[in-house]
């Protein structure tokens, strides 16, 4: 009788474990989508390293960015350097981090669903700030446009929470 009880308990425990695993992964986006994986890889790297908007940090992120977005960011940095020489007391056009659309860097992020097809996808990302920041516990949604280039996916644009395109803003300035 104790053997039967052990078998029944084992079955119940396995059932509960499988239900728990399904419950914890229900809100997560599958990582099989290459566009989603590319965005997750970028923000994992980006938030783990120095996020200051400078030449060296953009160079370190080049492998994640399309050539067009990389060039636009580098041109903006060159323009800001020239303006800083001419007008050292003026604030730069981009204070903070244009890749997260924030002046205070987020602590973490969540990658949401990917929409699109073919060679372009848009991936939703939620940026999260902890209660320990001066901003307090907060979150902001952005959309990251990724483009298939060769065999990989690269970030081509970032649309902020107001619907503004980073690439379009960089082209204007």
Q: How confident is the model at residue 31 (pLDDT cuts 50, 70, 90)?
A: low
Q: pLDDT for 47-102, tens place per residue?
A: 999 999 999 999 999 999 999 999 999 999 999 899 888 888 776 666 789 999 88
Signed CA dihedral, 42, 45, 51, 53: sign only: negative
Q: Which of 171, 145, 146, 150 is nearest to 160 (CA)?
A: 145
Task: Give pTM, 2 decimals.
Answer: 0.77
Instruction: Please give the share of the chain, as a percent, with pLDDT higher than 90.
Output: 62
Q: Does domain 31-172 have CATH number 3.10.450.50?
A: yes
Q: What is the DSSP letter of 96?
A: S
Domain ranges within the chain, ordered by starting residue: 31-172
């Amino acid at each position: 009788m104790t053997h039967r009880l052990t078998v029944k308990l084992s079955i119940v425990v396995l059932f509960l474990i499988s239900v728990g695993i399904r419950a914890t992964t229900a809100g997560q986006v599958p990582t099989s989508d290459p566009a989603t994986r590319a965005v997750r890889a970028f923000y994992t790297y980006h938030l783990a390293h120095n996020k200051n908007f400078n030449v060296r940090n953009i160079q370190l992120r080049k492998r994640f960015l399309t050539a067009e977005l990389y060039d636009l960011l580098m041109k903006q940095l060159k323009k800001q350097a020239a303006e800083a020489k001419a007008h050292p007391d003026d604030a730069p056009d981009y204070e903070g981090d244009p890749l997260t659309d924030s002046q205070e860097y987020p602590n973490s992020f969540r990658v949401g669903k990917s929409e699109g097809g073919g060679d372009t996808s848009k991936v939703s990302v939620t940026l999260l700030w902890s209660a320990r920041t001066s901003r307090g516990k907060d979150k902001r949604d952005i959309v990251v446009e990724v483009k298939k280039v060769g065999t990989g996916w690269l970030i081509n644009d970032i649309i902020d929470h107001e619907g503004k395109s980073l690439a379009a803003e960089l082209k204007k300035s």
